Each structure stands twice: as C-alpha cells, then as structure tokens.
Amino acid sequence: TIVNGFVSENVDLILANASSALQAAASATGDIPVLGTAVTEYGVALNIPDFNGTVGTNVSGTSDLAPLDQQAAMIPEWCPDAKTVGLLYCSAEANSQYQVDTVQAALEALGLTCTQYPFSDTNDMASVTQTAADNSDVLYVPTDNTIANNTGIVDNICHGKIPVFAGEEGVCSGCGVATLSISYEELGRITGEMAVQILTGEADVSELAIQYDTAVTKMYNAANCEALGITVPDGYQPIE
C-alpha cells in the first residue's frame, strides 16, 4: 500500500529498507528508480538466477552481507573444542537460507558438524531454539529479520549456557557473543551517495552494481562473554 502510494505520487526515487520492502517496490514499478539497503543478497531477494552483481533494471542498492567464510572462521577461533554447530534461522526468509547454507559449507570445510534448525515464525522460534541449544556446542544465527526482532527469545534460552555467533552487530548485542559486522550507518551513507548519482543524472540505476561496506569489524558482547567465562581473542572490540 505504501509503495503504491509512492508510485501514484510519481516520486523520483524509492528507498527500500530490507528485502520485503525491496520486493514490494520492485513489483510495484519498473520505471521509478528503486534503491535497496540492508538487503543481504539481491539475487535471492529478487529471484534472479546466476546473479552477477548488477540487477540491470530500475533496481540497485547496497547489501549488508558480511564475509560469511570469515564469520565461520570465528567459531573455531573462539571455541576450539567445539565440534557441533547449530544453524538457527527463519525458514520464511530466503536470505537467511542462503547465509546458513554458505556458512555451513565453510564450517564443514573446517571439520565441524553442522545441523540446520529452521523455524517458521515466532510461534515455534523458542522450541526450535531450545532444540538447537540442547544438541549443539555453539549456535550461529545469520542476519535474519525475525531473530533481530526477537533476540530476547534466543538470549533467554542461551544466555550463560551456549555461545551464539551472529551475522551482525544488532543480533549480537541482543543474544550473541561475537560477530564480524558491517556498519549500517556506513551502508546508509553509501546508499545515499548512490541516490545522489541517480537523481543528478550522473548514473543510470540499471548500470549501478550492488555495493557493499567492505570495512567489517570484529565485535563482541561483553556481558554474554562474561556469563559464559569466555576469553575474548585479540582484535575484537566491545559492542557499545
């Protein structure tokens, strides 16, 4: 409804924050430039097979995807004795499935055993989280909107009992011990610069490749690390 209002007003550009907003905007107009932000993987979100980094239509934007192989490598760095990893995510979010599949491949290459624990929505989130925690040495949660909005559910089950590694800073601050995170503030700045290029005629949205924040930061949740008695490796900074 909101996007249709924008189209009726014939706005000059639509900014779509996160995948569902991007999908709605892309479906509503093929003419007005659409910039997504905080969208993990555009090929998955827009159902583009063999996505090459440029949508090629009226859609472009920025991705909040951090290097997943480096996130996977954090787990043996922090928990060298861990052997089993539970991958917890919402099955309704295609970007979450993409992330856990990628992280699982990286972890298995490191010799760890992984099990995926998908939940459909908040109604079964607690029970699935409990099952994952009971059967894993550590948990990994991706950049997942449902978990981000309900970190308290995960924290209530895992706090002081099992370490949770997160896909980004917001989730980590709510229920995790560590993350390798991009800066969403920087992502917004990059998206704003793309908008200026489009609105001034400097760039054609169909030719703009998806952009990323390449300056990732190693971060940890001090309270959760203390509750678990975990020693923080060098090179990590506390989440403020």
The mean pLDDT value for 49-72 works out to 95
Give the tokens for residue 218. Answer: 């190693």
> pTM score, two decimals?
0.84
The mean pLDDT value for 141-165 works out to 97
The mean pLDDT value for 102-128 works out to 97
pLDDT of residue 39: 93
What CA–CA distance (Å, rounded) separates 22 from 37?
A: 8
Closest CA to 219 of 190, 188, 184: 184
pLDDT of residue 94: 86
Q: In what order do the strands lie in the sheet with 59-63?
A: 14-17, 34-39, 59-63, 211-212
Identify the band that residue 111 occupies on the pLDDT scale cut at 50, 70 and 90. Answer: very high
Share of the chain above pLDDT 90, in %: 92
Identify the band that residue 10 occupies on the pLDDT scale cut at 50, 70 and 90. Answer: very high
Q: Is pLDDT of 214 > 90?
A: no
Dihedral Cα 221, 224, 229, 231, nearest 10 deg: -10
Q: Is pLDDT of 215 > 90?
A: no
Identify the band that residue 33 occupies on the pLDDT scale cut at 50, 70 and 90. Answer: very high
The mean pLDDT value for 209-213 works out to 95
pLDDT, averaged across the chain: 96
Q: Is pLDDT of 70 > 90?
A: yes
Closest CA to 171 of 187, 184, 160: 184
pLDDT of residue 88: 98
* Residue 151 CA neighbour count, 13 Å, CB half: 23
